[in-house]
Structure 1
């Protein structure tokens, strides 16, 4: 099965979510960053992105049943005192949908519509049927700093990943790994996508340029190899591994699953990830971007 319709819907949903997030990042103030119960940050872009993806997938695919496993929930948004924040999210979603020509004549959304769209992400998934898995803003800390982040979406069918789409709005269209500020380039904004068995591709997140196939690096000279690691405190074992392999270049630190995208197109040869002691791993630490690393 080719999943062409599902892939087209996913690309449209993720592209619109990227459009919304780019607008938020440009005007984000620290006072607009909330802290969740697990002490991780969340912004209007996280909620708005999740609502948008939910709405677009349902409109485009009109499934008999719709299962979305996503990160955000509306508990805090429904509490008294959140009205202004919620109104802002609703406006973001409405304005972004209105910017898409095919949705120009759609009925206007209410705040409750947006809340319900976010709550569509409460599915528990499972090993049977169709399940979408979404990280609406992966790398929120990088997003808040104005750096790298990603919007990641995957489709699981009978427990297997069959397609993945990931937008990296601040990732340059041409490799810039190793440069100090990768978000300072003019030509930025990548949309990566892959269908199982058909390779991985990239195209600009905005515009109509033809997709280009991505391939992992063929560099076998470890002394020249570039390796990526997460934008956390340095992890000693990473330096130890690099030394044993003979890698002389300093690691490039980057937030989000944009690292997977960078490796998939040959920007770097290695991505090291060893969990810090006490760090709680979740599905969002690994999915859905890992399918993108299969581009050969």
Structure 2
């Protein structure tokens, strides 16, 4: 049965990929017609995915989940507990999980169908796909639905300026179709959205953030190059309260629920979760409530996770960005060698690294971007609280805590970000100071 389901799913993806190659016109009638076709095709993939997970839930009710590979360092917890049980932020956690799950469904379907004509380039040369925009629209819609009558401040990556231009009408129609198909599966009672409403939802992410009040912080697809490259990515949603991270949720559709290896970091991850019930992980954490993980599409995360600070340096794995353009791999290697790490790095896209570290897959993550790069708060917000509640430490390269109170960008981070278990973090900061001292002498 599993083989037949996988074959049917892959056949659906092949049909979808071919159909999504149709180009849209900027004229309204053609855009609407093409958008309807895209929605129909994308809906097939989304429906296949929903049916697959309904079968998973039914099977789980009658038999134990098959254990695969090395189990991540974690502690099982009763299903009644978890970050959503917080008396302070319980409703906010439910809202965040629901929003991330909804966006992750769209992203997963689009990644399998992604073709060259469905992405463009932003001014900073990072790829943008219809899924970035669609995921942002869905998260904004979901948060507004969860908190009716309240002003939702959303700090998010994308805007709809180009989509509102005449030449963007075709892409906006395509995004609208994908959004409506996702809503039809998760919220069938919801009225379909118009292209204007979708654009307005995308633009609702323009909040400046800051150190007062409550702000939701979203990266609709963190690791967009990984998304385009069929590797790992994450839907990342955090919440700031008076400038401090109060909760965070990571949706990682391609990340296994077991400890990762090099094979899980490379290309070819897209679509695995359609045939492997142990692929697709959600991480969630609430301040003072611990970090939790679980399947991304079935229930609230209910397995308590911890980082692993028990390993000697020669057994430690460290993680870094997949692409060298995102971080100085040579500096990371020099630091690793200085503190006695001998195993090769795991190169992984997105804040999925934070989830992996939080459950003990690795002990260290180092990021040293080009000095001209300005770090954005949505690239770290959700992951930071998950790390901290799992027992890890995250700071800038000088050992200072990350400051989320200054708006959409961080102040000076002294050359990078270090996230690690407590003992490894102390060793890395000392190594950075030594290497910088040696290089300047």
**Which category of TM-score, normalised to the shorter sequence, fits these structures?**
over 0.9
TM-score normalised to structure 2 length: 0.64
Query: In the superposition, relative to structure 1, how do residues 147 and 43 fare at CA in structure 2: closer, same or farther (>3 Å)?
Result: same
Distance apart, 1:219 and its partner CA = 2.8
Match of 1:149 in 2: 233
The answer for the alignment partner of 2:254 in structure 1 is: 170
**Are the structure 2 counterparts of residues 228 and 36 from structure 1 closer, same or farther at C-alpha, using a change threshold of 3 Å?**
same
Query: Is this contact kept in 2: 1:9–1:57, CA < 8 A?
Result: yes
User: What do residues 225-271 of structure 1 show as CA deviations (whole Å, max 9, x unaligned)?
Assistant: 10000112252111111111111111111110100110000000111
Shift of 1:288: 2.8
CA contact (8 A) 2:294 2:303 kept: yes
**Structure 2 Cα separation of the partners of residues 164 and 292 of structure 1:** 6
Using the TM superposition, name which of 137-146 and 60-69 deviates more. Answer: 60-69
Aligned residue pairs, count? 294
1:32 aligns with 2:126: no
| Cα displacement (A) at 1:65 | 1.4
Question: C-alpha separation between the residues in 1 aligned to 2:379 and 2:296?
Answer: 23
Contact 2:217 2:378 in 1 (8 A): no
The whole-number CA distance in structure 1 between the counterparts of 2:145 and 2:89 is 17
Confirm or deny that 1:195 pairs with 2:279.
Answer: no
Tell me what 1:10 maps to: 96
Of residues 320, 326, 333, the one that matches 1:239 is 333
Q: For 1:69, what is the secondary structure of its paired residue?
A: strand
If each structure's helix is expressed as a fraction of its own residues, which one has the higher value?
2
How far apart are the structure 1 equivalents of 2:313 and 2:263? Answer: 19
Q: Secondary structure at the match of 1:241?
A: helix
Aligned to 1:124: 208
Question: Under a length normalisation based on structure 1, what TM-score does the superposition of the two structures give?
Answer: 0.95
Alpha carbons 2:246, 2:287 under 8 Å: kept: yes
**Structure 1 residue 273, shift from structure 2 partner:** 1.5
> Quick one: structure 1 residues 248 and 288, their matched pair in 2 at CA, closer, same or farther if it must change by over 3 Å?
same
Query: In the alignment, is the contact (CA less than 8 A) between 1:74 and 1:115 conserved in 2?
Result: yes
**CA shift for structure 1 position 145:** 0.6
1:211 to 302, 310, 320: 302
Asked if residue 83 in structure 1 is aligned to residue 169 in structure 2, the reply is: yes
Seen in structure 2, the aligned counterparts of structure 1 residues 166 and 209 have a Cα distance that, compared at 3 Å, is closer
Summarize the Cα distance change of 1:210–1:194 in structure 2 as closer, same or farther, 3 Å threshold. Answer: closer
Distance in 2 (CA, whole Å) between partners of 1:181 and 1:241 is: 22
Q: Secondary structure at the match of 2:193?
A: coil
**Structure 1: segments with no counterpart, 5+ residues:** none
Report the 3-state secondary structure (helix = DSSP H, G, I; strand = E; otherwise coil) of the residue aligned with 2:219.
strand
> Alignment partner for residue 318 of structure 2, among 224, 227, 232?
227
Partners in 2 of 1:165 and 1:228 — Cα distance? Answer: 20
Looking at CA atoms only, which structure, 1 or 2, has the larger radius of gyration?
A: 2
Is 1:70 aligned with 2:156?
yes
CA distance in 2, matches of 1:156, 1:284: 11
Contact 1:230 1:254 in 2 (8 A): yes
Cα distance in 2 for partners of 1:236, 1:203 equals 34
> Secondary structure at 1:99's aligned position in 2?
helix
Please tell me whether the aligned partners of residues 260 and 361 of structure 2 are also in contact (alpha carbons under 8 angstroms): yes
How far is 1:218 from its partner? 3.0
Contact 2:265 2:348 in 1 (8 A): no
Q: Is 2:381 aligned against 1:287? A: yes
Task: Please give the secondary structure, in 1, of the residue aligned with 2:381.
Answer: coil
Work out whether residues 155 and 378 of structure 2, in 8 Å CA contact, stay in contact via their aligned partners in 1.
no
